[in-house]
């Protein structure tokens, strides 16, 4: 029997056309835990809040303050935080879920190969890519909501810069011959930048979490008792930091897109 950590999530079973991987099972389990958590926790509107509510309040206040330091305005923070906070918690909980005992070690044998039943969802590129694509989608959705479809698409696919050259030349604005093609290419570079943002976000998180799991597995294979504890602690910290990085970068992208559109609006006026 072979037991090795793969860089991809193994298929556990099929559900119609969809192959259910162990990372997907982890994500579903986490979804159930979240549902259980929100149904257990009672949020009091009046009176002294319970410990969990107190912690949630503290987290919310800290998150808003942190978001303010990135966006520079409470209005923007309040607009983006409904996406950023759950994103942070989804990644954090998935990162930590992968460190729990039994995750990656309980499974079944298939074709002389051990298949774990659960795998940290963020140790699967499918999950991290899905998260970064969702973040990108939300970012561009915010851009469209703030600036409108035309203005937002023009930022990346600036065909209007090329198309407006003859009109500007009639007005004897000869500089457009040089400036507008540059603007068009800058837009294309921005477009490529958006794709690279997605790749960098997803690969960073995936790489760090997978590396942590491999590191822990290697340390455990050397000596399973006490030795992995410092590494486990480090992975708890890494999980937190990676979740924070992902969430903060997503917030930065949202903030940048809202600011660039605001600037464009001001320039237009």
Task: Name the minimum Å distance from CB 204 to another protein.
Answer: 14
Angle between helices 74-97 and 228-268 (to 10 degrees): 150
Closest to another protein by CB, 67 or 176: 67
What phi and psi values does residue 226 have, to the nearest 5 degrees?
Answer: 65, -40
Task: Report the site for another protein in 100-129 (rule: CB under 8 A).
Answer: 121, 124-127, 129
Q: Give the pairing of strands 107-110 and 113-116.
A: antiparallel
Residues in contact with another protein, counted by CB under 8 A, come to a total of 45
Our finding on whether 86 is near another protein (CB under 8 A) is: yes
Task: Give the nearer residue to another protein in terms of CB position, either 57 or 263.
Answer: 57
DSSP, collapsed to helix, strand or coil, labels residue 140 as helix
249 binds another protein (CB under 8 A): no
Contacting residue, 22, 76, 80, 83, with another protein by CB under 8 A: 83
Question: Per CB under 8 A, which region of 60-68, 160-168, 181-189, 214-222 contacts another protein?
Answer: 60-68
Nearer to another protein, 43 or 145 (CB): 43
Q: Measured on CA atoms in the order 195, 197, 200, 205, is the torsion positive or negative?
A: negative
List the one residue from 31, 106, 145, 227 that touches another protein (CB under 8 A): 31
Question: Contact 250/133 with Cβ under 8 angstroms?
Answer: no
> Scanning residues 125 to 164, which ones bind another protein (CB under 8 A)?
125-127, 129-131, 133-134
> What is the DSSP code string of 160-213?
HHHHTHHHHHHTT-TTHHHHHHHHHHHHHHHHHHHHHHHHHHHHHHHHHHHHHH
Q: Encoding tokens for residue 52?
A: 């969990």
Residue 90 makes contact with another protein by CB under 8 A: yes
- String of contacts with another protein for each residue 11-30, x by CB under 8 A: ------xxx-x-xx--xx-x
Q: Work out which of 4, 14, 45, 112 binds another protein, going by CB under 8 A.
A: 45
Q: How would DSSP label each residue in 199-255?
A: HHHHHHHHHHHHHHHHHHHHHHHH--SSTHHHHHHHHHHHHHHHHHHHHHHHHHHHH
CB of 133 to another protein, least distance (A): 7
Contact between 94 and 30 under an 8 Å Cβ cutoff? The reply is yes
Q: Which is nearer to another protein, 35 or 182 (CB)?
A: 35
**Residues binding another protein (CB under 8 A):** 7-9, 17-19, 21, 23-24, 27-28, 30-31, 34-35, 37-39, 41, 43, 45, 53, 56-57, 60-61, 64, 81-83, 85-87, 89-90, 121, 124-127, 129-131, 133-134
């Amino acid at each position: 029997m072979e037991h090795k950590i793969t860089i991809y999530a193994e298929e556990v079973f099929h559900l119609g056309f969809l192959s259910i991987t162990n990372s997907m099972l982890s994500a579903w389990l986490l979804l159930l835990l979240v549902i259980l958590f929100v149904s257990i926790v009672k949020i009091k509107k009046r009176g002294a809040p319970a410990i969990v509510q107190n912690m949630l309040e503290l987290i919310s206040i800290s998150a808003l303050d942190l978001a303010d330091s990135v966006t520079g305005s409470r209005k923007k923070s309040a607009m983006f935080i409904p996406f950023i906070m759950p994103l942070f918690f989804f990644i954090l909980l998935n990162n930590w879920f992968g460190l729990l005992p039994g995750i990656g070690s309980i499974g079944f044998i298939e074709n002389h190969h051990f298949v774990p039943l659960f795998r940290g969802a963020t140790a699967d590129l499918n999950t991290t890519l899905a998260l970064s694509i969702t973040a990108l989608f939300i970012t561009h959705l915010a851009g469209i909501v703030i600036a409108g479809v035309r203005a937002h698409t023009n930022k990346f696919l600036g065909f209007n810069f090329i198309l407006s050259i003859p009109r500007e030349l009639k007005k004897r604005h000869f500089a457009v011959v040089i400036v507008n093609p540059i603007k068009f290419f800058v837009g294309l570079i921005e477009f490529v930048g958006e794709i690279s943002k997605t790749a960098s976000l997803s690969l960073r998180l995936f790489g760090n979490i997978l590396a942590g799991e491999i590191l822990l597995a290697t340390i455990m294979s050397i000596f399973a008792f006490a030795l992995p504890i410092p590494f486990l602690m480090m992975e708890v910290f890494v999980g937190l930091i990676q979740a924070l990085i992902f969430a903060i970068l997503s917030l930065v992208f949202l903030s940048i897109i809202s600011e660039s559109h605001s600037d464009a609006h001001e320039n237009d006026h």
